[in-house]
Amino acid sequence: MTVPVRIARLPHHDPALPLPAYETDGAAGMDLRACLPPEARALGLTLAPGARVAAPSGLSMAIPQGYEIQVRPRSGLALKHGVTVPNAPGTIDADYRGEVMALLVNLGDAPFVIEHGARVAQLVLAPVARAVWEEGALDATARGAGGFGSTGS
């Protein structure tokens, strides 16, 4: 199944960078690339250990009603460098029209340089169900009110 999503390159987007794309036929997520400001493109953006940054993409999009785009970490960055998305998955709502950014955090022990054009996150288009609250008594379950760790370690 495919769902059309309108995308726009912002004025500072580098036309040499491709749009987010699925890297393999079976990929669930599209790779999002960092589009750094022109003055930072040669040097990259250094992310110190423990630091966070909103990596710009130079793109905005119109996600169809009933969908969201989830921003997820790239497993290779997390494994090799400790760079991940701290609010994973981040949500881009259907009514947002600003620049798509990937919130990144460096959990590693060394600075990490985000290079212009580097694949920094994955985007997953997902359907959204909306809840309608129905107040009233709840049914009983075997777990009951057992919370964190109640089902074992």
Q: Is residue 84 part of a domain?
A: yes
Q: What is the mean pLDDT of each run of 10 residues along the chain (153 residues)?
A: 96 97 96 96 97 98 98 97 96 98 98 98 97 96 85 70
Range of the domain at 114: 25-127
Q: Is residue 148 part of a domain?
A: no
Q: Is residue 90 part of a domain?
A: yes
Q: How many domains does the chain have?
A: 1
3-state secondary structure 84-142: ECCCCCEEECCCCCCCCEEEEEECCCCCEEECCCCEEEEEEEEECCCCCCCCCCCCCCC
CATH classification of the domain holding 34: 2.70.40.10
- β-partners of residue 67 are 127
State residue 153's pLDDT score.
64
Q: Taking the CB of residue 53, how many other CB atoms lie within 10 A of it? A: 20
Place of tokens 């994973």: 88
